[in-house]
Each structure stands twice: as structure tokens, then as C-alpha cells.
Amino acid sequence: MTKPTEIKALVFDVFGTVVDWRSGVAREAAAFLQRHAPHLDAFEFADIWRREYSPAMEEIRSGRRPYVRLDVLHRENLVKVLKRSGITGATDAEIDELNLAWHRLDPWPDSVPALNRLKRRFIIAPLSNGNIRLMVDMAKRAGLPWDAILGAEVVRAYKPSPQVYSETVDILGLAPAELCLVAAHNGDLAAARRLGLSTAFVVRPTEHGPDQKTDLNAQQAWDFVVDDLNELASQLDASID
């Protein structure tokens, strides 16, 4: 286990860990669906759209497709979902606007105060599959106090590809153990640990809604296991003081 005092920077998975993507996408989709498919549930629509996320990135991780930013994948996935749902007649402008739902997600209640606490002692940045503009827009709207924007578009690869973690360590000029990945997803943490990063698991039991079945508990002995980001900040404060 890493000594907490070795940690100099924390990088964060964002979708699900820092922000509530499901509620935000459902909120943005509701008005669109009211116009085009009032029989569809906005949360189900958000879930269907999100299910296209990993397969689309796998095309790039596997080398079958060159890197494109997540905004592009999200829009392509949205067009697929609309066609599959039998939704016709939406204009390109409407589709573009709905695709910006991912730029307007709300943080979990603990995220902003905890990030501000952590920022006082550590470098903090997203390590997200989201592209730079998406992360900047989200941060400005939600008040996420990042020191930098890092992640997929910076290294032109999607998590959990190893280079996302190793190149981020190099960008920050740190030893791997000095960088801690904070995530609500065991798979993300496992990939980071294989590259020597420190790890912190945050339980987000409703990321996928009230019937969530995955990532309800830590599957390995991560360096930190916490119920929210304030608890992580307190543990790090206690270990340093």
C-alpha cells in the first residue's frame, strides 16, 4: 500500500465519479423526447445512449479506428440510438444540442467542496475519456477547480489503455506512486495499478440508477476506499498532519 505522504497529485475519473452523468443526460434528453418520442423514458434513453460508450471506444483501443474525440463518438452513438428508437425528423441542430448534454452534467454534492480541499495540497486534474473542450465546459458550469485538463485527448488514447496512465505520469513529471487515480470503477483502478499508480475507490452506488449492480464495493485492496470525496480529503489530511 502506498504511503499517503508520497502522493503529490490526484487525477479523477469524471463520468460517474465526479459528476452524475445519468441524471444530467436524462434532464437534457427530456425536452427532446417530449418533442420527438414522448412515450420514451428519459432515464432509459440515457442508459441506452451510455451503453454505446464502451463499444465505440473499443474500436479505437483495438486499433480498428484512428483516435477521434469523445464528442464525435457521442454524436455517432446518439444517431444510432435515435435510429434504433424509431426517432425521425430531428434536425442536425437538435442532435448537436442534445450531444452537448455531456458538457452540462452536475457534480455529485460532495465533489466541488472536496476538490477545493484537495487542491490546497495536491495537483488535481481529470483523467477522463472526455475530450478537452467537454471537460472545460463541464468544469466552468459545475465549478470544478481543476489545475489542468488531462486524459484521453491529451494522449490520444482511451482508458484503460496503458498509455493513458503512463503518459499522464510522465506529463506531470512524477513517479507512478506519486500519482493517485480516484475512480468509482474497479476496472479503471486496476489498469492504473498495473502501471504503478496509487488508487482510491469512491463508492457511487447510484451512478447507473437505483438498480445498479456493478462497482458497489472495492474488488481489490485499493490504497483508499471511501464513501465520498470528502472522506478521501479527510483521510489524506489526517495522514499528512
233 and 139, same domain (yes or no): yes
84 and 14, same domain (yes or no): no
Q: What CATH number should be reported for the domain holding residue 99?
A: 1.10.150.240
Q: State pLDDT tens for residues 63-108.
A: 999 999 999 999 999 999 999 999 999 999 999 999 999 999 999 9
10 and 128, same domain (yes or no): yes
Indicate the pTM of the whole model: 0.94
126 and 162, same domain (yes or no): yes
132 and 206, same domain (yes or no): yes
> Which of 70, 103, 136 delimits the end of a domain?
103
> Which of 103, 128, 155 delimits the end of a domain?
103
14 and 39, same domain (yes or no): no
- Count how many Cα atoms sit within 13 Å of the Cα of residue 6 in the half-sphere of its side chain: 15
14 and 25, same domain (yes or no): no
**Where in the sequence is the domain holding 34, given as residue range(s)?**
21-103
169 and 226, same domain (yes or no): yes
Q: How many domains does the chain have?
A: 2
181 and 207, same domain (yes or no): yes
> Which of 84, 103, 122 delimits the end of a domain?
103
Q: What CATH number should be reported for the domain holding residue 217?
A: 3.40.50.1000
Q: Tell me the average confidence (pLDDT) per consecutive run of 10 residues in the chain, 241 residues long.
A: 75 98 98 95 97 97 97 98 94 98 98 98 98 98 98 97 98 98 98 98 96 94 98 85 46
